[in-house]
Structure 1
């Protein structure tokens, strides 16, 4: 299931097992990277127009027709008695506080190699978003704080990890805020 709503709305409540590809963030590219070829796709969105726009874009990557689509209130997308899933969003200042409080925090950097080459959080695990689906088993145990450069790819990665049952926190913040928050940023 591909949830096209904003990352904020998705984090607040989504169908368990669904992936978040914001409709404003070129979802076709990420769907092609992270959903196995030939797997049926169900589109979930705010409006029929949002789903139709995504469907047109998905044809560019070979997904000619979704298996199904639903729009409106996410609470209507689950069976009676089921709850929507959710996970927290945070900023780099929150991560810095967690580092101070807990010490051993799993930080997953899903930026591209070229982005990481310009600086990274000391001790972070690097797994570019386009590799995450194939390498999800390599993500260390514990609550995973996921970040990218600005928040969108972190939300996609958090949705993927959440779908596998991992406890995640999506960092919805610009990477430049990491050093400002007091995190140790290594600049090679």
Structure 2
């Protein structure tokens, strides 16, 4: 069920204006959904508006084992995005941002295949480069990599992207096993 509302908020309104609000209650085992849709077309001539939100989920959405303000479950495919923001305004996240990642266990210093946007690999003592195979990487990927161990010689790395992999080049060979964290941005 969808609705479309165009409205004007009069200048005397000082509280909340909801052009359209829809709430659907479901059986407890099925979940709960709140949907708000609408557009404020204009504000009264002397109105002072301090906040306008196109989509809002209240802090009251908290009774389930898992609670999501927005849930996207699209399969990967050309033109498919779970979240697509085409506006030029910055995006703000106050809470922790979590990325699916693989952190290679200590003692494992062989080349790794990590098909995720984030992870960590280990350089063995005397290693000066490491190839990471990653199906998400293209030649145009931006890869942010940081040395995460206080090694006496290996202090930084450069990441060079290729189709399906990237190579980490150390400024100097590692003295001991040294962890490097990475983030792939496409």
TM-score with structure 1 setting the length: 0.18
Whose radius of gyration is greater, 1 or 2?
2
- TM-score (normalised: structure 2): 0.18
Per residue, is there more helix in 1 or in 2? 1
